[in-house]
Amino acid sequence: MKPDSLFSILSDLTRLRTLMLMQAEGEVCVCELTFTLNESQPKISRHLALMRETGIVESRREGTWMHYRINHRLPDWSKEIIRQVSDHLGGLSPYRDDRKQLAKMTNRPERKRT
């Protein structure tokens, strides 16, 4: 992971909002992201693919659901940057509003308990 890769990911609002939700929730499904961010599935999937290619997120499939989370193998410095960004921006709009919107989703897939 190079710093420019991380900051490039963070520079896009859709990807930043997605990462902030992952940081807050631990793991999110594509359907949760489309609902919360009010974006199309292809757009969300395109951003997630880029984030996966750079190694920032990892995915797992459960039936028809694709779940994403921040890659636990990221270098400590990059995990700390994501944590700090979340801590300092989490109370601001749109990040706070995204968590509220996600809480309204009634048909969220069950989470795998680890």
pTM: predicted TM-score of the whole model, two decimal places = 0.91
Instruction: Write down the pLDDT at residue 108.
Output: 86
Q: Is residue 92 part of a domain?
A: yes
Q: What is the pLDDT along the chain (114 residues), one digit of tens a residue?
A: 899 999 999 999 999 999 999 999 999 999 999 999 999 999 999 999 999 999 999 999 988 889 999 999 999 999 999 999 999 999 999 999 999 999 999 988 876 544
Q: What is the pLDDT of residue 85?
A: 96
Q: The domain spanning residue 15 has which CATH number?
A: 1.10.10.10
Give the pLDDT of residue 38.
96
Q: Does residue 108 lie within any of the structural domains? A: no
Is 73 part of a structural domain of the chain? yes
pLDDT at 41: 94
Q: What is the pLDDT at residue 102?
A: 96
Amino acid identity of 23?
A: Q
Q: How many angstroms separate the CA atoms of 58 and 67, rounded?
A: 8
DSSP letter (8 states) at residue 69 = E
CA distances from 82 to 31, 57, 99 (A): 23, 12, 17
Identify whether 111 is part of a domain.
Answer: no
Question: In the prediction, which pLDDT does 86 show?
Answer: 95
Alpha carbon of residue 23 to chain centroid:
7
Q: What is the pLDDT of residue 107?
A: 86
Q: In terms of residue numbers, what domain contains 82?
A: 3-102
Helix (H) or strand (E) holding 24: helix 13-25
Flag whether 78 is in a domain.
Answer: yes
113 located within any domain: no
- pLDDT at residue 113, as a whole number: 47
Domain count, the chain: 1
Backbone angles phi, psi at 12, to 5 degrees: -100, 130
Report the pLDDT value the prediction gives residue 114, as an integer from 0 to 100. Answer: 45
Extract the tokens encoding 99. 């968590």
